[in-house]
Chain A
Amino acid sequence: MEQKRIWKPWLYCVPALLLILIVIVFPIVYTGYISLTNMNLYHWTDYSFIGLSNYARALFKFDSGFLSALGTTLVWTVLNMVIQIGAGFFIALGLNAPGLRLKRVYKTLLMVPWAVPAYISILLWRVGMFNTEFGILNKFLSLLGLGKVDFLAGNAIAFLSCMALNLWMALPFMISTIDGALQSVDSSLYESATLDGAGFWVRTRFITVPAIRPIIAPAAVMTTFITFKQFDIIYLLTQQRGYMTGATLNTVITYAHQNAFASNNYGLSSAVSMLLFVVIILFSIMTNRSLREDQA
Chain B
Amino acid sequence: MKKVTALLVAMALCLAALAGCAQSKPQDAPPANADQPAAPADTSSDPVTVTVWHDGDEGIMQTIADQVNAQLADDQITVVFEKKTDMPNQLKLYGSDAANAPDMYFYAHDVLGSFVAMDILAPLSDVTDTGILADHLPMTVEAGQIGGKQYLLPVYFETLVFLYNKALWEGDIPGTTEELYDYMVSHTDAAAGTYAVVNQHTNAYNVSPFINGFGGYIIDENAKPGLTDPKTIEAAAYNQKFGALQADGDYNTVTTLFNEGKAAAIIGGPWLVSGIEAAGIDYGIASLSDIKLPNGSGLAPFSGIQGAGVLKVALAEKKDAVAKVLTAMASPEVGVDLAVKSGCAPANNKSYDDPQVAAKEMISVIQKTASTAQPMPNIPEMGSMWGPVESMLTAINKNGADPAQAAADAQAAAEQAIADMQ
List A residues at the B interface (Cβ < 8 Å).
Answer: 11-12, 14-15, 18-19, 22, 40-42, 44-45, 57, 127, 131-134, 142, 147-148, 150, 153, 241-246, 258-260, 262-265, 268
Q: Is the Cβ of A242 less than 8 Å from the Cβ of B96?
A: no
Q: Is the Cβ of B114 less than 8 Å from the Cβ of A244?
A: no
Give the chain B neighbours of A268 by CB distance below 8 A: 420
Closest residue of chain A to B263 (Cβ to Cβ) is A133
Q: Is the Cβ of B10 less than 8 Å from the Cβ of A265?
A: no
Kindly state whether residue B386 has any CB partner on chain A within 8 Å. Answer: yes
Q: Is the Cβ of A245 less than 8 Å from the Cβ of B13?
A: no
A148–B193 Cα distance when bound, in Å, is: 10
Q: Is the Cβ of B114 less than 8 Å from the Cβ of A132?
A: no
Give the chain A neighbours of B390 by CB distance below 8 A: 241-242, 244
A42–B252 Cα distance when bound, in Å, is: 36
Q: Is the Cβ of B252 less than 8 Å from the Cβ of A44?
A: no
Kindly state whether residue B250 has any CB partner on chain A within 8 Å. Answer: yes
Give the chain B neighbours of A265 by CB distance below 8 A: 420-422
Q: With A15-B10, A45-B96 in contact, is A263–B384 under 8 Å at CB?
A: yes
User: Contacting chain A: which of B138-146, B158-166, B314-322, B392-400?
Assistant: B392-400
Q: With A41-B114, A133-B257 in contact, is A264–B7 under 8 Å at CB?
A: no
Give the chain B neighbours of A134 by CB distance below 8 A: 253, 256
Q: Pick from A15, A127, A241: contact of B252, CB below 8 A.
A: A127
Q: Is the Cβ of B10 less than 8 Å from the Cβ of A262?
A: no
Q: Is the Cβ of B421 less than 8 Å from the Cβ of A246?
A: no
Q: With A244-B394, A245-B398 in contact, is A147–B420 under 8 Å at CB?
A: no
Kindly state whether residue B56 has any CB partner on chain A within 8 Å. Answer: no
Contact bitstring B1-40, A, C-beta under 8 A = 1, else 0: 0000011001001100110000000000000000000000
Q: With A40-B422, A132-B248, A241-B386 in contact, is A18–B14 under 8 Å at CB?
A: yes
Give the chain B neighbours of A260 by CB distance below 8 A: 420
Q: List 15 A-B contacts (CB under 8 A).
A: A12-B7, A12-B10, A15-B10, A42-B422, A132-B247, A133-B247, A133-B248, A133-B256, A241-B390, A242-B250, A242-B390, A243-B250, A246-B394, A262-B417, A268-B420
**Interface size classification for chain B:** 35 or more
Give the chain B neighbours of A42 by CB distance below 8 A: 117-118, 421-422
Kindly state whether residue B387 has any CB partner on chain A within 8 Å. Answer: yes
Extra contacts besides A11-B10, A22-B17, A42-B117 (19): CB < 8 Å: A11-B7, A14-B14, A15-B10, A18-B14, A18-B18, A40-B421, A42-B421, A42-B422, A45-B96, A133-B262, A147-B191, A241-B387, A242-B203, A242-B251, A243-B250, A244-B390, A246-B399, A264-B383, A268-B420
Q: Is the Cβ of B114 less than 8 Å from the Cβ of A264?
A: yes
Kindly state whether residue B391 has any CB partner on chain A within 8 Å. Answer: yes
Q: Pick from B193, B203, B251: contact of A133, CB below 8 A.
A: B193
A135–B326 Cα distance when bound, in Å, is: 48
Q: With A12-B10, A14-B14, A22-B17 in contact, is A133–B420 under 8 Å at CB?
A: no
A148–B195 Cα distance when bound, in Å, is: 15
A244–B32 Cα distance when bound, in Å, is: 42
Give the chain A neighbours of B241 by CB distance below 8 A: none
Kindly state whether residue B202 has any CB partner on chain A within 8 Å. Answer: yes
The 3 closest A-B pairs by CB, nearest first: A246-B398, A15-B13, A263-B420
Closest residue of chain A to B113 (Cβ to Cβ) is A41
A126–B99 Cα distance when bound, in Å, is: 41
Q: Is the Cβ of A263 less than 8 Å from the Cβ of B191?
A: no
Contact bitstring B78-114, A, C-beta under 8 A = 1, else 0: 0000000000000010001000000000000000001
Give the chain B neighbours of A40 by CB distance below 8 A: 421-422
A57–B420 Cα distance when bound, in Å, is: 9
A115–B117 Cα distance when bound, in Å, is: 42
Give the chain B neighbours of A150 by CB distance below 8 A: 248, 398
What is the CB-to-nearest-CB distance from B114 to chain A, in angstroms, rounded to a whole number? 6
Q: Is the Cβ of A148 less than 8 Å from the Cβ of B387?
A: no
What is the CB-to-nearest-CB distance from B195 to chain A, in angstroms, rounded to a whole number? 9
What is the CB-to-nearest-CB distance from B2 to chain A, in angstroms, rounded to a whole number? 12
Give the chain B neighbours of A18 by CB distance below 8 A: 13-14, 17-18
Contact bitstring B369-403, A, C-beta under 8 A = 1, else 0: 00000000000100110110011001100110000
Kindly state whether residue B119 has any CB partner on chain A within 8 Å. Answer: yes
Closest residue of chain B to A22 (Cβ to Cβ) is B17
A265–B384 Cα distance when bound, in Å, is: 11
What is the CB-to-nearest-CB distance from A202 to chain B, in angstroms, rounded to a whole number? 51
A45–B416 Cα distance when bound, in Å, is: 24
Q: With A11-B10, A132-B247, A153-B399 in contact, is A263–B421 under 8 Å at CB?
A: yes
Kindly state whether residue B67 has any CB partner on chain A within 8 Å. Answer: no
Closest residue of chain B to A123 (Cβ to Cβ) is B252
Q: With A134-B253, A245-B394, A260-B420 in contact, is A44–B96 under 8 Å at CB?
A: yes
A148–B253 Cα distance when bound, in Å, is: 14
Give the chain A neighbours of B193 by CB distance below 8 A: 133
Kindly state whether residue B70 has any CB partner on chain A within 8 Å. Answer: no
Kindly state whether residue B190 has any CB partner on chain A within 8 Å. Answer: yes
Give the chain A neighbours of B384 by CB distance below 8 A: 262-263
Q: Is the Cβ of B380 less than 8 Å from the Cβ of A41?
A: yes
Interface hub of B6, B10, B262, B380 (most chain A Cβ within 10 A):
B10
Kindly state whether residue B200 has any CB partner on chain A within 8 Å. Answer: yes
A161–B252 Cα distance when bound, in Å, is: 19
A262–B251 Cα distance when bound, in Å, is: 22
Interface hub of A11, A45, A57 (most chain B Cβ within 10 A):
A45
Q: Is the Cβ of A131 less than 8 Å from the Cβ of B248?
A: yes
Q: Is the Cβ of B253 less than 8 Å from the Cβ of A264?
A: no
A262–B262 Cα distance when bound, in Å, is: 36
